[in-house]
């Protein structure tokens, strides 16, 4: 490339390279962040959103003075930036998956697993409660302010961890394993009280059926358990939001810690 390449471009080459690094980091995270309808959206809106978020982070863009001095090294930084974004997005996506997993546990006991509908996130057959949990988790992602905290994290990471500075540490792998257990724990905390109540309903109906064999309780079991579970979900929706907010707050502290920004 000629030495006066910057003079031939309307935009400095260093600025373009810096934008590509930011776009790689943000785009990797967007692949897992629970934005409603993002995974099934057309490619153009995805690109526009990634570019818009990258431009929002313009004050924190790294300064690339001479990207032509070491092109192989510069190309190697791009996969590292994508991996950084994917790691952050995977952590955030797991918090939403915990709510979906809880509803999956509950749907089998409540009888909702017998009916399926199209999941707007994956376009696959999914239980009614799983679809509800997917949409609810996407709403909570914005309500509790995880999106704003992520923008702060990315802005700080671009300043203190510029392209080429981040390396995968064993600590991050340990945290990924720990958060997989945390996801399961959170799902069980949400689902187990409801499952316990539905189990008591099964026991009560079984005892009544034992005392009065002529009663056809099977036809009453499904609607009773479905209505009870839906009523409890509506009553406990605020508690689900509180648990989600607590888990999201703990997650953001973990992300600030493992990236070395705090």
Residue 5 pLDDT more than 70? no
Total domains in the chain come to 1
What are the tens digits of pLDDT across the range 226-236? 788 888 888 87
Closest by Cα among 58, 232, 226, 247 to 144: 247
Higher pLDDT, 199 or 61: 199
Identify any residues that bridge with 88 across adjacent strands, giving them in sequence order.
none
What are the tens digits of pLDDT across the range 117-168? 555 555 555 677 777 888 888 888 888 888 888 888 888 888 777 776 666 6
DSSP states along 189-232: HHHHHHHHHHHHHHHHHHHHHHH-TTS--HHHHHHHHHHHHHHH
Cα atoms found within 13 Å of the Cα of residue 19, Cβ hemisphere only: 12
Output the pLDDT for position 262. 61
Q: How many whole angstroms separate alpha carbon 29 and alpha carbon 52?
A: 14
Higher pLDDT, 4 or 91: 91
Q: Where are the alpha helices (DSSP H) in 111-217?
A: 128-143, 146-160, 170-211
| Residue 1 pLDDT level (bands cut at 50, 70, 90) | very low
What are the tens digits of pLDDT across the range 26-83? 888 887 887 776 766 778 888 888 888 888 887 777 776 555 555 555 667 778 788 8
What are the tens digits of pLDDT across the range 84-124? 888 888 888 888 888 888 888 887 777 776 665 555 555 55
Output the pLDDT for position 158. 80
What are the tens digits of pLDDT across the range 206-220? 787 777 766 666 667
What are the tens digits of pLDDT across the range 121-133? 555 556 777 778 8
Report the pLDDT averaged over residues 233-246.
81
Output the pLDDT for position 12. 66
Closest by Cα among 241, 254, 46, 84 to 162: 84
Q: Name the 3-class secondary structure at 165.
A: coil
Q: Which domain holds residue 135?
A: 5-258
**What are the Cα distances from residue 163, in Å, to 19, 51, 109, 159?**
11, 18, 49, 10
């Amino acid at each position: 490339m000629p030495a006066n390449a910057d003079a031939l471009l309307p935009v400095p080459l260093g600025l373009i390279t810096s934008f590509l690094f930011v776009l790689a980091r943000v785009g990797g995270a967007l692949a897992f962040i629970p934005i409603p309808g993002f995974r099934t959206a057309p490619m153009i809106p995805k690109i526009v959103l990634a570019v818009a978020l990258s431009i929002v982070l313009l004050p924190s863009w790294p300064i690339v003075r001479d990207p032509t001095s070491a092109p192989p090294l510069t190309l190697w930084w791009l996969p590292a930036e994508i991996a950084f974004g994917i790691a952050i997005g995977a952590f955030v996506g797991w918090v939403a998956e915990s709510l979906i997993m809880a509803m999956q546990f509950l749907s089998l006991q409540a009888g909702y697993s017998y009916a399926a509908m199209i999941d707007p996130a994956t376009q696959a057959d999914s239980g009614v409660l799983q679809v509800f949990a997917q949409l609810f988790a996407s709403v909570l992602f914005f309500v509790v302010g995880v999106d704003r905290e992520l923008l702060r994290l990315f802005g700080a990471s671009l300043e203190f961890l510029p392209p080429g500075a981040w390396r995968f540490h064993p600590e991050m792998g340990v945290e990924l394993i720990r958060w997989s257990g945390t996801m399961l724990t959170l799902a069980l905390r949400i689902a187990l009280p409801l499952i316990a109540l539905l189990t008591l309903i099964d026991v009560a109906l079984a005892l009544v059926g034992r005392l009065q064999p002529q009663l056809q309780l099977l036809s009453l079991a499904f609607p009773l358990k479905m209505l009870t579970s839906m009523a409890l979900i509506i009553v406990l929706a605020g508690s689900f939001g509180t648990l989600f907010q607590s888990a999201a707050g703990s997650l953001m502290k973990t992300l600030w810690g493992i990236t070395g920004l705090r």
